[in-house]
Amino acid sequence: MSKVLIVTGGGRGIGAAAARLAGSRGYAVAVNYHSNSEAANSVVQGIEAGGGKAIAVQADVTTEAGVSSLFETVDRELGTLDALFANAGTLTEYRPIQEIPLADLEQTWSGNISGPFLCAREAAKRMSTTYGGKGGAIVINSSAAARIGGAHGMLAYAASKGATDTFTLGLSIELGGQGIRVNAVRPGLIETTFHDLTGDLERLKKLVGGVPMGRTGTADEVAEAVLWLLSDEASYVSGTHVDVTGAR
């Protein structure tokens, strides 16, 4: 039987790379998306073309209704949940703190804190040995911004990812005795369109000089870290944050 994995925000970037890699390694993958069905279905088709199993599931994972719909669909169509990659998140345009409106803060908290929290809650209900589950693994997508600070226009995003790191650690402690491992990946400058949400299409080129390895990373490189954390090879790894940053 294939292990069942949910990847939120699985239609693009790091989420898509993780979904494809998981599919190639025998997972049955639920590729969650918010609005871009074409991208999510393309990921599903790629997994299926390689002999794997996947479904695309539309849901807004920042809402109770969306998260419930996602997990109930997976229960029905794929079976017992084994793993979650809480990848979906958001980013707003560059703004100094003097110009950040409450709407930006609310969007950031909702996408980067509430979403992963709600998804982890539903995953824990299904995987916890205390609740009759068989255990499992959760990986949350954080960011190097959590420790760098994300100043000069990305302060709200960095603060939300700092909360993500705290949530990861606290959740790993809470669920450690229930058969569930919880970890985070902290990507650095990764070549995805996610950065375009800042409004600066040249962001990676401007910052790559600060990367000791001298280059940006790829979504596939982050996906490798995610799949390792989800795998039995990381069976005694929980409560940690894996930086994929080229030493930045």
Q: Which CATH number fits the domain that encloses residue 41?
A: 3.40.50.720
Whether the CB-CB separation of 8 and 214 falls below 8 Å is answered with: no
Structural domain total, the chain:
1
Whether the CB-CB separation of 151 and 40 falls below 8 Å is answered with: no
* Tokens describing residue 18: 């993780």
Q: Is the pLDDT of residue 152 over 80?
A: no
CA distance 191 to 211: 13
- What pLDDT was estimated at residue 218? 97
- What pLDDT was estimated at residue 150? 87
Q: Is the pLDDT of residue 12 over 80?
A: yes
Q: Is 157 considered catalytic here?
A: yes
Whether the CB-CB separation of 86 and 116 falls below 8 Å is answered with: yes
Name the catalytic one among 94, 131, 157, 236: 157
Give the residues across from 32 on adjacent strands: 57
pTM of the predicted model as reported, rounded to 2 decimal places: 0.96
Q: Give the number of other Cβ atoms within 10 Å of residue 196's Cβ.
A: 11
- What pLDDT was estimated at residue 197? 65
CA distance 32 to 141: 15
Q: Is the pLDDT of residue 201 over 70?
A: no
Amino acid letter for position 128: S
93 or 26, which is more confident: 26
Helix segments in the chain, DSSP class H: 13-24, 37-49, 64-77, 102-109, 115-127, 145-148, 155-175, 203-207, 219-230
Mean pLDDT, residues 162-169 taken together: 98
Question: In which element (H, E) is residue 216 found?
Answer: none
Whether the CB-CB separation of 210 and 158 falls below 8 Å is answered with: no
Separation in Å, CA 212 to CA 88, 189, 208: 28, 12, 9
Write the pLDDT tens digit of every residue in 55-66.
999 999 999 999
CA distance 91 to 35: 16
Q: Give the number of other Cβ atoms within 10 Å of residue 15's Cβ.
A: 31
Rg for the chain (alpha carbons), in Å? 17
Mean pLDDT, residues 149-163 taken together: 92
- Which residues form the domain of 207? 4-244
